[in-house]
Structure formats: structure tokens, C-alpha cells
Chain A
Amino acid sequence: MDSLLDVLGLEVRYGNIEAVRGLSFSVKEGSIVAMIGANGAGKSSTLLALSGLVRASGGSILFRGRDIAALRADRIVSAGLVQVPEGRAMLAPMSVAENLELGAWTRRYKSNFRDASGLQGVATDLERVYALFPALAERRSRLAGSLSGGEQQMLAIGRALMARPKLLLLDEPSMGLAPRLVTAIFETIGEIRRSGTTVLLVEQNARLALRVADSGLVLSHGRLFKEGYSAELLADPAIVEAFLGKA
């Protein structure tokens, strides 16, 4: 497998705070990579830098061999790197279907969006998202703001998938979800990968995240503390002690 994303010496700074200090890692095509670490370790900042919502103050981000560190956020989406933000960021006064359709917004850059085949593509993708999340299909004309937390999380993921990402970034998809839904969301992440999308996942629920992931990155104070296959990390006493807690 080739690497889809190569991050080299990434730095992110907010005023005096150095959130990310020289972070390097790679994500292989077709894999699920979980990024774990304590609060303030720099996980969310890394995702924000990858998706262009925060400007990296140093380092380079190679996505499919091309440096995207200086690209605008919408260009990064159209290059195939799409983030599901922490807190879901619904377009609350718009319907579920409208939220999903807007997810395909950057595809308008592709010339075929206006002809029938392009629209057809969007319609097909909508049906795929509804198949993945039947709850959204039932509520397609409801306003996004009226959905429960779990449904909003599904919608946020569905909306990101509408952009046909090569790499999907998920920031704490299980946050604020009832236990039943947490399991369901992780199953969905597995399905997304099976359909060919690579996933980089930030999660506080580290044990569950590592179970669904192929490999893990452990961050500490803005640096890479450890990386390895999920099974190795789950078996590493130091990692269990510091980040996973009791089973």
C-alpha cells in the first residue's frame, strides 16, 4: 500500500502556545489510523492544520504527493481530504437533504457537475449515504438543528462523504453519544473504510478507536510519543497505563 498522506515536521502555534511541535507521520491508503493522546496533546490542532482551517506555522503536508499546507480549505476538500469537525457543525436551519447536498459543493469544480452524469453522481451518492445511515433517510426533510446528537453525528459524517473524500478526518465522532450509538458509529467507520475511503480518526475513546484502527499514533505535548499497529499499542503496558486506563 502507498502512503496517501505524509506529514513532515508539522508545527501549529496559537500566539504563545505551541500546540504541535514538529510532528511527522504517514497514513497509508486504505487504512484506518487512530490518533490518541491526552487533552491538549495537539490532536485537534493537527487535524485543523491538515484540513487548512488553521495555518501550519512550519512543516509540510504531502497529500497524494502534493504539498497542501498552503492551500485554501475548500481546495483541500476538493483535493479529496475532508474533515468531520468536532462538535459536528450542522447547518441547523437547513434540512438533512440540503446539508448532504452541500457536502458535494466542491464537486462543482469538476466540469461534469452541471451535466446529467454529474448530478446523477450526486444522487447516487445521496442514496449511498442514506443506505449507510437509514435514520437519515427517514428524516431527510427534517431540519438538521432538530436532530438528536447521534443523528447529527451521522449527518456530519454523511455530509463529508458527499465530497467523495480519499481521506476522511474524524474528530471525536463518539463525543456526547449514548453508549449504543458509540458502537454503531465505530461499525460505520469500518464500513466506510471497506468502501475504499482512508480514515484518520481522533478519539478520546482510545480503546474503541484502536480496536477499529489498523495502526495508532500516540501524541504527547504536540509530538509523536509512539506509533505502531493497534494490537501492539493495545498490548503496550506504558500506553495502557497512560492513555487507556482499566479495561
Chain B
Amino acid sequence: MSGGSRRAATIRRGGPWVAAVLIVAADAYLCVRDPQDLDRLLINAMLALSAFATLHARLLSLASAGFAAIGAYASAILAVKLGLPVFLSIPVAVLLCGAVAMVISLPVLRLKDVYLAICTLGFGEIVRVSIILIPGLTGGSTGANLSTGFTYATMKQTRSWALALTLVAICYLFWSASRSRVGRALRAIRENPEAAETMGIDVVAYKNMAFLASALVAGLAGAFYAHSVGSLDNGDFKFSRAVDILGYAVLGGSGAWFGPVLGAGFLTALPILLRDGLGYGLGFLKDFAQFPNILNGLALMLVIIFAPGGIASAFPRAAEQRGVRRRDLVRPSAPAGAAEAPSRSTGGKGKVLLSVKGLGRSFSGLEALSDLSLDIAEGGIYGLIGPNGAGKTTLINLVSGLVPPSSGKIEWLGREIQGRRAHRIARAGIARTYQNIRLFGGMSVLENVVAGRHIRLRTSLAAAWLRLPSQRREEVEAREEAMGLLDRLGLSELADEDAARLSYGDQRRVEIARALALEPRLLMLDEPAAGMNERETSALGDFIVDLKRQGIAMLVVEHHMDLIMEICDEIVVLDFGRKIAQGAPAAVARDEAVLEAYLGRE
């Protein structure tokens, strides 16, 4: 390595630490100078964490300012008008925020991305205008002196301490949750909600949870704010405030909890320091009242351009937090599977697991699949072949619950499952892979596979917060199981790599490992050998046969005919959404209709 690049590496490693130290030092200086700034800083950090809670699950919500307003006014009104003790008014106000969040999450969380942002911005405006409309309680548009018992000098100190401890507690809760299966599920949703759902993760419930957490934290910040300023003004919670809060979280980085805290520290300190600094050195610029704001905006732009993932993404440890690491393992991983798995029938078929009856699906008049009936028995390998566009992937989408059928029934172990949400179907024991690979891109290979075990892990949020030994043991075991699967697929060397960086064929193998982590009884593989050469394909074939020995039934869509002919017990052929043949490989290979439609004649 040349001197230049070594210097670059040193800057890369040390840079973020220097930045963090500078931010903390600047904030500490401000707080020592003026204790009022300490409160402002802590409250902003809390608001930043509220935005982090939603961003971490890729919900672009701007509702934090609205919830802060509810928290602030509710707490102040309770304390001043109803005479509730301040320390009681705060939790009551926070609970109110939670209730509001639960109500509005029903319609709002159906939206995505920029639509969600616009909608939550609307929510914030409704809250603010409502405050103006009830002047009797809130002081209306002129603001009201709702400040409370915290005004005495001694109480001020108590307030700052309470605020600081609360912030530390919130940081701890976020930190411990993000290291558990809960955080992993949220990251999986962030990377690919559809794949997360088919891994058995209840995407709607997790998104609701993230939104609720965000509302509670914002409400708490608002409540403290109410007791920290002399009087409340609805202008404190206007549109631009909502954008500021998002700015803290984005600048700091939504990948790790400490990012938003640093972001808030930076964006709170900068305008104050700029104003004062300009006051000393460049007095004439003070005439331009908005000048510090311009510099502030410029700083935000620069950070986003040079570190799009925010400050947090520049830390190597922050990057590691994305994934469980191989070195976390205490014991060497034992290959899971073949040995301990109950070895069931290898040739003859067991009982029927999945029974599809008269299944059909049309997309805007085009029949992708019509009147398909098919039984899949325990421990059987079923090949599904046919020309491109014949409806093979549609069948997998229907069975896995991503697409509801237009007609027909899907029975799993004798019970109808059509119309159920995908995560429930996954929980019943049906796993799949995707033709167009859908891995959790920003996560390590190992964490992808551990995310696949989600439904086999029991840890609750409470256990994660308490960091109970049982939870830690479960995490270690899940990693060992996952490493075992990676070993079996020849991927253990790549365990720590970012999944998105793998070659195409390796990504396919990771998908298979992730699906197996769910311990399915039926595994549906959509073109597992695409992008693999003949050697790799034949190794995959051996692996699939090995899975069959464990008693896993499989439905395999594939164009590699050598593979299909070798491993399948039965082959189903589709053409234009209809079944044109079904039977043993040798029979299907001779079938006139199949030769005509698919295989072609030499």
C-alpha cells in the first residue's frame, strides 16, 4: 500500500471519530455557557431518535413534530389547567400520543415513501391548526403561558437531569432492540418488505410498532419541551420543524441509533456557533440575518453529498452493527441438518402436504394461470417446467400468499390457506426463493440467513431490552444454525460479506440458505440454478436431493433440464397458464405436447 492510500485509510478510520468528538465538544461548550442550550440539545436528540424509529423501518414519516405538539400541549394543559403534578402529566401525555398514533397508523401506514411523507405532514398541520382552534385550552395562535413548576432554579436542574436520563434510557432501548430479532426484522423490512413477509415477518405489525415507538418518543420530547420553555406557541411545531427533525436523523444516519443523536448535536450547535463566530470575526455579515442559516443548509448538503448514509455510516463499527459477525460465535459451527434430521422415506411419497384445486389467476384479463390442480406430498421433489410466461412463478406467488388467487383453492395439511397473508403462510412451513433475487442487500450474508430464522426465535421485545441470558443464547444458537446452513452450501467464507456484493450464483445460494433457515416443510425454488455453471448446477442437485432425505418437499422451477430430469420424482408442465402434462420425468420427456411447447426437437 502506498503512503497516500495509507493516509487515506487513516483518515477514513479516524475521520468520523474526530467529527464525533468535535460535535460533542461544541455541544458541551454551549451547554456550559448556557444551560438552556442543554435542554434544547437533549430535546432535539430525542426528536431525532423519534424520526430514527420510523426511518429504520424505511417509513418516511414527518409526523414527529405533530406528536411532539400533542405531547407538549397535553402535558402543559394537564399540569397547568388540571393541576396534575408535572411528572404525572408527562406519561399521560405520552400515552395520549400512543393512542393517536395507533388510530392514524391504520390508514397512514398503507402509504409508502413520499406519499407517506406528504400524509404525515398533513397530520402535523391538522394538529397545529387544531391547537389554534381551541384557544380556551391552548392560548390559540398567540401562544399561552403554560409553563409550570419547573421554573424555579432548583427545578431547572432536576428537569435537565430527568431529560438526560430519559434520553439515555431511550438510547439503551433502541440499542438493545436493534441487536435483537426485532431490529433484524425491521432491517429486513427496510431492505425488502416482500421477502421479509415471506420469511414470516409480519411487516404490518412491525411497521405499526416502529410508528408507535416514534410517536411515543416524540410525545415525550414534546412534553419535556413544554416544561422547558416559558410559553408554548403553535409555531414551534410548524412544517419547517418537521423537516428539521428529519434532517437530524438523515444527517446523522438512520443505520444506527447514535447517528441521529450526533446529527441533532451537529445541527443544533452549528447555527449558534456560526452566529456567535460571525459576531466576533465578521461583524458586517451579521447584517444578513439569515447568513447562519445559509451556512447551516450548506453544511447539511455537504454531509449528505459526501456521506449519503449520514455520519453513522462512516463509522466502521456502525457498519458492523448491520450484521451479526462470524467472530461472535463462541462454538465452532456444527453442520446442521442431515445427521440429526429425521430421515424419512427417500423414494416413496408421504402424505399430501399441499393440495391445489382449480387454481386460477388473471392479470387485467390475461389468464396467467387457469384451473390448475396439483398435489404435493411430503418428501417429494416436483419439477415445474414450461416456456417463459407459462405461469410458473405465478403459481409460486399464489401459494406463498403474495398474490391472491382469482379462483380455486389452496389447501395446506387439509386447511384452506388462500387469501391468508404471506407471513402466516410462511409460519405454516412454506418457504420460497425468488427468480429475481430478493436478498436483504445492506445486511451481511450471515444476518440474511439469521433473519430467515425469525419465526423460530422467541425473544420478545422485553427480553431484548433486559438482555436476558435466554435471549443471548438464542441469538448465538441462531447464528450457529445459520453458519451450519452456509457451510452446507459452501458459503461460510462469505458469511461476513455484504449480501448485495456477492456474485449472482452465490446470491441464489444465500437465498436458499435463508429459506431453509425457516425450517420449511415445503420449499419452492424459483430457478435456483440460473446463473450457475454445470458443475455448480450438479452440486446444487446433490444438495436438493439431500434436503429431500430430510423430508422437505420441494417444488422446483428450472430450465436446466439435466437437473430437472435427474432430481424430480414428478414433473408438471405448464403452457399458457394450463397444465399440459404431468408425470414421471421419463414420460414427460417423451410427451408430444411437451416437446412441441417447450423442449423442442433436435
Contact = CB atoms under 8 A, between A and B. Distances in A.
A176 B366 CA distance: 22
Nearest to B363: A146
B600 A40 contact: no
Contacts of A181: 387-388
A17 B494 CA distance: 10
A44 B503 contact: yes
A36 interface: yes
Nearest to A147: B389
Given A39-B506, A40-B503, A180-B598, A245 B534 contact: yes
A148 B538 contact: no
Contact of B389 (A41, A149, A242): A149
A172 B529 CA distance: 13
A150 B531 contact: no
B501 interface: yes
Contacts of A177: 388, 559
Contacts of A38: 505, 533, 535-536
Given A40-B502, A40-B505, A150-B387, A178 B534 contact: no
Contacts of A40: 502-503, 505-506
A14 B498 CA distance: 10
Contacts of A14: 501
A245 B535 contact: yes
Contact of A178 (B366, B536, B559): B559
Nearest to B387: A178
B386 interface: yes
A204 B387 contact: no
Interface residues of B, number: 30
A243 B504 contact: no
A182 B538 CA distance: 19
Contacts of A147: 389
A176 B534 contact: no
Given A40-B502, A87-B436, A183-B600, A175 B388 contact: no
Contacts of B538: 245
Contacts of A17: 497, 501
B561 A204 contact: no
A237 B536 CA distance: 18
B504 A245 contact: no
A176 B504 contact: no
Contact of A149 (B388, B498, B532, B537): B388
A15 interface: yes
A179 interface: yes
Contact of B600 (A180, A207, A246): A180
B600 A243 contact: no
A113 B504 CA distance: 38
A177 B501 CA distance: 25
Contact of B534 (A150, A179, A183, A207): A207
Interface in B519-535: 527, 530-535
A177 to B, nearest CB: 6
Given A44-B504, A245-B538, A36 B599 contact: no
Contact of B533 (A15, A148, A182, A245): A245
A54 to B, nearest CB: 12
Contacts of A44: 503-504
A29 B58 CA distance: 49
Nearest to A41: B503
A179 B598 contact: yes
Interface string A184-221: 00000000000000000000111100000000000000
Interface in B485-529: 497-498, 501-506, 527
A176 B388 CA distance: 8
A244 interface: yes
Interface-centre pick from A150, A151, A172, A180 (highest chain B CB count, 10 A): A180
Interface-centre pick from B505, B527, B531 (highest chain A CB count, 10 A): B531
B504 A39 contact: yes
A97 B217 CA distance: 53
Contacts of A6: none
**Nearest 10 CB-CB pairs, A to B?**
A148-B389, A39-B505, A245-B534, A149-B388, A180-B600, A148-B388, A40-B503, A39-B503, A150-B388, A204-B533
27 contacts: A14-B501, A17-B497, A37-B533, A38-B505, A38-B533, A38-B536, A39-B504, A39-B506, A39-B531, A40-B505, A86-B531, A147-B389, A149-B389, A150-B389, A176-B527, A176-B530, A176-B559, A177-B388, A178-B386, A178-B387, A179-B598, A181-B388, A204-B534, A205-B534, A206-B534, A242-B535, A245-B538
